A and B are shown apart, each in its own frame.
Chain A
Amino acid sequence: MSEQRQLLSDSAARLFQANAGWDEIDALGIADLLVPEDRGGSGADWDDACAVLQAAGHAQTPLPLAEAMLARKLLAETALEAPRSLLSIAANPVGKLARDARGWKFSGVVTSVPWGRDAAHVVTTVTSEGGPHVVVLAVADASVHKRTNLADEPRDDLRFDSTPALAAPASSREAQRLLDYAALARTAQIAGALQSALERSIGYALERKQFGRAIGQFQAVQQQLALFGAETAAATCASRSAAIAASAGDASFEIAAAKLRANQAIGVATATAHQVHGAIGFTREYALRQATQRLWSWRSEYGNDRYWSERLGRAVIERGADSFWGNLTDR
């Protein structure tokens, strides 16, 4: 990791660990990391952004940081008026964007919007007039169905009925494939949460005594934690590699692979974390659930195994067995 990126991720980590609120985080420009410098942002790449998101996942920061980063990036691209308020995104809009003499209007439903109820605006992308458009919707205009994921993070459904919207055509990869980049961001958060659960589990195994010694001294426990460590390493490496690919160009293959691999790691990781912790890990009070409940939810969010394995499997099969290795090494 470059020294600059390490500094950025370390200072973000300190902020997240101190439970900084949205205003404090936003004041430091973290939500503007992906915004180009000439638009008032940091001009950072996805590798930088994912380093920060990994730290947020590690701290289980209860804020739509990934979503705000993407929203600000899309707004900057289209030069739409960027409200300096809490923003979220809708990665899977179902609806229609049309315009009349008075401007753009959106009718439809956006589901599972992180912190939809708290955001002033939701940014999404919709194809209209033959191309992708970035759309800004005011939450005040929506009927909001409040829902939360397993970790009590808001995932709200918003319904818009011929609601006036800001919209502008956009051509970036993020605008064309918003879901992919949301998945990339979530994968970085997963890597961070896996590391946090691993550290907590190791700490507990070294502390908890049974049969007169720390349970971490038993080989049976060590072997499980070693696999947990290996799975965490795999998810982290996959996430980082996809972030680097996204910084360089088309990363649809890498993002699919990374989200799938991170999802796979969640199975071993959460099972082992709870097995090592025993009953205490199942209490509302104990902090392990902050990581594991997020991980269980995040495995579904922005594409579950079925979604990504269908997309990746189909792409590989269409290119054919004899092209597989060449395609893999070309990337």
Chain B
Amino acid sequence: MHAFKFDPVALPADAPAFRKEIREFLARELTAVPAERRANCWAVFDADFTRKLGARGWIGMVWPKRYGGHERSALERYVLLEELLAAGAPVGAHWIADRQSGPNLLRYGSELQRQKFLPGMARGEILCCIGMSEPGAGSDLAAVRTRAEQLPDGRWRINGQKIWTSNARQSQLMIALVRTGPLDEKNRHAGLSQFLLELSTPGIRIQPIVDLVGHPGFNEVFFDDVVVGPECLLGAAGEGWRQVTSELSLERSGPERYLSSFALFIELVRLAQRVDSEALRHAVGRLTAELWTLRQMSLSVAGQLAAGEDPMLAAAIVKDLGNSFEQSLPTLVQALVGEDVRLEDDTDLARTLALLLQTSPSFSLRGGTREILRGIVARGLGLR
């Protein structure tokens, strides 16, 4: 049987108590946050909130204590993440550091790199961005052209450009995938390496890109003869593809891949409480079924990650289905609301709907397009 692995997982016995602690914290810290700020909240940047989470020990909570972590379990971290996302907490500032840059450093970084950066990340003071996409390398990530050449003294000189880099201007660090060996068309994954770059390094220039709702979240990052020491290489030279693939598994597997429109779902339930409508009831029922199923699937992936497995296939499935769910919500809600709800209204429902209508098409792009994910699933089915 082609049964993908989605074994149910039991959360730790102390999860309810931990949830209560998180909810009490959020009830204090998140007062009067409008609903549209709660939507897609892992893209909402708030450095103050991030430092407060760091002070609570809720960034890097699974990392070793000697690197500023708290040695909590991976499933406890999952509970934290889903509580933060469901509450719409503005977690965008540290999301990348906690989700992938920190774990990447723990897996491949040198002792020096870990000691230098991880404690600051865990405090919420060192923020990270992703250095993968380039103008000519989107889904085809192995096409990156940013180059690092090693100088005779062992240092590296980097030239090239990254793009679509969220939060680059507010971040201190980037983990960049660059080419260190010649491009071999027969083995395009060879000759790639990851670098840990401090964005204050001379020769790095960052320029914002305004997105379609007018938000300057994206950036272009240019590297002009950027010279860095050998200690900036992350992991082994030439191992960049293997490293970035494991980073992508972390990037694709979390609860943020189905909860980005959760704030709008809550507004829909609120509407159904006010307006007695069969269509609304049925929509709430169907969406609840999808949401519950996605949570079960996402929990299962978290359990597999906690058990030290690499659930690449299961994660791709959750992201694909999760993104489709997130994207279906705005269209559905727009079709269901009455004539008294207009997109330009100044209400929680209208503002959230307007924002998500425009931003949700990006959900199946970021972190791997739907087409790439389905390619991974097709390979898992034995079709490729």
Contacts and interface: CB of A to CB of B under 8 A. Distances in A.
B89 to A, nearest CB: 13
A154 interface: no
24 contacts: A202-B382, A206-B382, A219-B375, A226-B320, A226-B373, A232-B2, A233-B297, A237-B6, A238-B292, A257-B292, A261-B289, A261-B290, A264-B289, A305-B286, A309-B286, A310-B278, A311-B285, A316-B285, A317-B273, A320-B273, A321-B273, A324-B269, A325-B87, A329-B19
- Interface centre among A198, A225, A229, A330, by most chain B C-beta atoms within 10 angstroms, is A229
- Interface centre among B6, B269, B285, B317, by most chain A C-beta atoms within 10 angstroms, is B285
Contact of B381 (A202, A257, A258): A202
B378 interface: yes
Contacts of B380: 229
- Interface centre among A223, A305, A317, A328, by most chain B C-beta atoms within 10 angstroms, is A317
Interface in A194-248: 195, 198-199, 202, 205-206, 216-217, 219, 221-223, 225-227, 229-234, 236-238, 240-241, 244
B141 interface: no
- Interface centre among A205, A226, A240, A241, by most chain B C-beta atoms within 10 angstroms, is A226
Interface in A237-274: 237-238, 240-241, 244, 253-254, 256-258, 260-261, 264
B363 to A, nearest CB: 16
Interface residues of A, number: 55
B25 interface: no
**Is the contact region of chain A dominated by helix, strand, or loop, or is it mixed?**
helix
B282 A229 contact: no
B8 A241 contact: yes
Contacts of B272: 313, 317
Contact of B266 (A202, A260, A324): A324
A-B pairs, top 5 by smallest CB distance, nearest first, are A313-B285, A309-B285, A313-B281, A226-B374, A260-B289
A259 to B, nearest CB: 8
A8 interface: no
A222 B288 contact: no
Interface string B1-30: 111101110000000100100000000000
A233 B8 CA distance: 12
A222 B288 CA distance: 29
A240 B292 contact: no
B288 A257 contact: yes
Nearest to A227: B374
A60 to B, nearest CB: 14
A33 B375 CA distance: 40
A31 B281 CA distance: 37
A36 B297 CA distance: 31
A306 interface: yes
B270 interface: yes
A316 B269 contact: yes
A124 B1 CA distance: 34
A156 to B, nearest CB: 30
A328 B378 contact: no
Nearest to B270: A321
A310 to B, nearest CB: 6
A230 B321 CA distance: 7
B194 to A, nearest CB: 29
A312 interface: yes
Interface of A: 1, 58, 195, 198-199, 202, 205-206, 216-217, 219, 221-223, 225-227, 229-234, 236-238, 240-241, 244, 253-254, 256-258, 260-261, 264, 305-306, 308-314, 316-317, 320-321, 324-325, 328-330
A312 B288 contact: yes
B245 interface: no
B286 A260 contact: yes
B36 to A, nearest CB: 16
Contact of A230 (B284, B286, B375, B377): B377
A226 B377 contact: yes
Contacts of B19: 329
A138 to B, nearest CB: 38
Nearest to A259: B289
Given A240-B6, A313-B288, A234 B321 contact: yes
B232 to A, nearest CB: 38
Nearest to A325: B86
B353 to A, nearest CB: 15
